[in-house]
Chains A and B, each alone.
Chain A
Amino acid sequence: MDFDWSVIVDAMPSLLNGARLTILITLAGLAGGLVVGFIAGLMRAYGNALLNGIAFAYIELIRGTPIVVQVMFIYFALPVLADIRINPMSAAITAIIVNAGAYIAEIVRGSFLSVHKGLREAGLALGLPMWKVLLYIIGPVAFRRMIPPLGNQFIVSLKDTSLFIVIGVGELTRQGQEIMAANFRAVEIWTAVAIFYLIMTGTLTLILRVTEKRMRML
C-alpha cells in the first residue's frame, strides 16, 4: 500500500482539536488529582483511624475498578442515582481526578513515610506543631522523591483519556476513530494519532526531567 500524506493533512485540524481536548482533560484532571491525592495520601499516612479508613476505602474502590467503568458510572449512572446531569467533558475530567487521585495518594503516602523519622522528631523537638513539620520539613524532602512516580502517573493518566471515547468526548482517539470511519485510512490516521500521543508524553517527560535536574534529590 502507499502512505497517503494528504489524508493526514486533511485530518490535521480535527486531530489538533482532539489533542487540545486531551491536553485540557489531562491538565484539569491531574491538577484536581494532585489535590485529592495529597489530601487522601496525608489522611492515610497521618490521619486517625476514621480518616485513614475513609482514604483507604476510596483508594481501594478506585484501584479495584477499571477507569472505563468509573467514567461510565459518572456519566450514565450518576444521573440516574442522584439526578446530576453532567456533560461528557466534565465526566471525563472528574474521572481523571478521581482515578489519578487514588494512585497519587499512594505515591504521596509512600514518599512522606519514606522520610527518615529523625527529621520529624527534630522538627517536633523545636516545638513546632505537626502540620508545620509536614509543611516545612518533611514535605519538601518527600516532594523530591515523588517526582519519578508522579511522572509515571501523569503519563498513564494522559493515555487513559483515550478511553473516554466510550462517552463520546471528542478527544484525540475519538477524532481518529471518526475520521477513520469516514475514509477507512487506518494506517495514516492511527500513525498520526500515535505520534500525537508520543509528542505529548515526550513533552511531559522532558518537563519532569528538567524539574528533577533543578532540584537536589535528598
Chain B
Amino acid sequence: MSMVEFRKVTKRFGSVVVLNEVDLKIDNGEVVVLIGPSGSGKSTLLRCINALEEIDGGDLIVDGISVKAGRSQVRLIRQEAGMVFQQFNLFPQMTALENVAFGPRRVRGASRAEAFAQARELLAKVGLADRGDHYPSELSGGQQQRVAIARALAIKPKLMLFDEPTSALDPELRHEVLMVMQSLAEEGMTMVVVTHEMAFARKVGTRLIFMENGKITVDGDPATLLANTANPRLREFLQYVN
C-alpha cells in the first residue's frame, strides 16, 4: 500500500486552479523532491497531504486515511506526517527543548519526564544537545530549522514533509539543515521535499517531480533527469536554479 496516494486531486484558490487533477503515488521509503516554478502548485500539493489545505476535488489517501474523512481522522494523518516549514515556526514562548517535547506531551500524552528525555535525544541527533535551554530568538536560522525538524520527529511520524526548508537560510546555514535531512533519508524515512537544492535532489532524492501549472509534467530518477532531460521546460528551469 502506498504511503500517499493522490487520486485526481484538484485544488482551487478562488477561480485559480492550483492543482489540476493530480495523480501521484508515494511509497514507503521514497525521498521525493518536488520542484517547479513559483506558482506551479508544489507547496500546495505538499500542504494537501497533511490537510493544511483542503482539497476541492478527487481524493487523497495518507497511510490508509482519506483527508476528507473528518477532523479526527485528519488529526491522525497529521500525527503520521511531520511538517517542516520555510519560516521554521517554532513556538517563541518555549525553549528549544520545550518545543521538541511539546508534541509528545500534548499530542501523544507522554509524561513530562518521558517527553523531555526523548527531546534531549532528538536535539542531540540534530547536533543541538547544548542548545536545549535557548529560546528560538536566541538561535540562528539553521539551528531553529534543526529544532523544527526535531520537533516534527518527536511525534514519531511515518512521513516527513519539508516545505522549502532552506529557502530562508544563508548559504552556509543551509548545509547543516541538509545534512540532518540526509541522515534522516538514510535511516529510511519517507520524505516529500519542496526545494530548490538540486545537489540535495541528486544525492539524496530517490525521485524527482517537476510541476507546472498545477500538473506533474516530469516524474523520474533525479540523477538521470538532472544530467539530461528531454523536457524543454525542465531544462530551462534547471538553468535558472543551478
Contacts and interface: CB of A to CB of B under 8 A. Distances in A.
Pair from one complex = yes
Interface stretch (B71-79, B125-133, B224-232): B71-79
B135 interface: yes
A212 to B, nearest CB: 15
A23 B91 CA distance: 37
B93 A140 contact: yes
Contact of B85 (A122, A127, A128): A122
A57 to B, nearest CB: 28
B92 A126 contact: no
B52 A136 contact: no
A132 B109 CA distance: 13
Give chain B's interface secondary structure class. Answer: mixed
B78 A127 contact: yes
A216 B93 contact: yes
Given A121-B52, A125-B83, A126-B102, A141 B107 contact: no
Nearest to B86: A118
Contacts of B135: 216
Q: How large is the interface on A (under 10, 10 to 19, 20 to 34, 35 or more residues)?
A: 20 to 34
Interface in B189-234: none
Nearest to B136: A218
B218 to A, nearest CB: 28
B143 interface: no
B103 A126 contact: yes
B89 interface: yes
A64 interface: no
B155 interface: yes
Contacts of A144: 93
A118 B90 CA distance: 9
A126 B93 contact: no
28 contacts: A116-B87, A118-B85, A118-B89, A119-B91, A119-B92, A121-B52, A121-B85, A122-B85, A122-B148, A123-B91, A125-B78, A125-B82, A125-B152, A126-B103, A126-B106, A126-B152, A126-B155, A127-B75, A127-B77, A127-B79, A127-B107, A132-B106, A136-B106, A137-B91, A140-B93, A141-B91, A144-B93, A218-B92
Interface of A: 116, 118-119, 121-129, 132, 136-137, 140-141, 144, 216, 218
Given A118-B89, A125-B81, 4 more contacts: A122-B85, A124-B52, A126-B152, A127-B75
